[in-house]
Amino acid sequence: MQTDVLRIGTRGSALALAQASETRALLMAAHDLPQEAFEIVVISTSGDRIQDRPLSEAGGKGLFTKEIEEAMLDGRIDIAVHSSKDMPTKLPDGLELSAFLKREDVRDAFIGRASPHLEDLPHGAIVGSSSLRRQALIRRMRPDIDVVMFRGNVQTRLRKLDEGQVHGTLLANAGLRRLGLADVITQLLPADTFPPAPGQGAICIESRIGDARANAMLMPIRHGETERALACERAFLAALDGSCRTPIAGLARLEGDRLSFRGMIITPDGKQAHEIEADGRAEDAAMIGAKAGDRIRDKAGPAFFDGWT
């Protein structure tokens, strides 16, 4: 069913709604259209509803996208706005990632109560995180503290922190900034020593392949540099079959027509890690990421991945 209004699908969390609103504002400005030309459609996802166990046990990243993608394939929405780090590397037939917005800060943010800095937490402190990558990196940095599963949206996790359930937690700086909550951050962790998830800080937009109307609307808001960086990072993930079950970090940076990439795989207990660096022409972003993934897999050996899934 075709309508004049462009329907934007999103999850219902405050952060997801902020990202959808940011996308709508960019489209309004790019096409000189009023807010009424766009409808934000909230869709409940399995990932939002399942709160009693880690996503790695429930089905992985696709739990945050499945119902939204079904709505797009059914024609109930025209485009979908996602956090890039939540996107599986394999999309349903008929759908594509058609645009990336300009990337925010990629770093992880620590919010501490027992100490403002992760490295200064007292022995035996409890840190909560739902990310296997963050959990593994914390254990690598501070094997003496207790890392626990910490599900929920940003506001829920901050409430649990204030209630004293944990002594600290980690969230994406980009998400906190988009919510106007940067003031809660007690430490920004350097990307070189605490590398981010592939895609962290970037909003992506999914649409139906061949949808000329959606493509024409999205063309002016596409950010080429972010698009190339994400092509590299997602190719690295794909080479490693990356999902919520796998602690993987990766970050591509562009300078002019050159791209540099650093990636890491780490065991969930934080005891073993392998890192890799690669660079090349920005136009070869996907190939650089894929080759880096193959190289780091060969470097680690098959035993490294035992017990990941």
- Tell me the catalytic residues: 86
Q: Which residue from 215, 173, 214, 209 is spatially nearest to 190, judged by alpha carbons?
A: 173
Distance CA 45, CA 64 (A): 6
> Could you tell me if 188 and 197 are in contact, meaning their C-beta atoms sit under 8 angstroms apart?
no
Helix residue spans in 142-223 (DSSP H)? 154-162, 173-178, 212-218
Q: Is 246 left (phi over 0), alpha (psi -120 to 50) or beta?
A: beta
Distance CA 143, CA 232 (A): 31
- Burial environment of residue 49 by CB neighbours within 10 A (0 to 12, 13 to 18, 19 or more): exposed
Q: Which residue from 190, 170, 207, 189 is spatially nearest to 91, judged by alpha carbons?
A: 207
In the chain, which ranges are E strands?
6-10, 38-42, 79-83, 95-100, 108-112, 126-128, 146-148, 168-172, 187-189, 203-208, 248-255, 258-266, 273-281
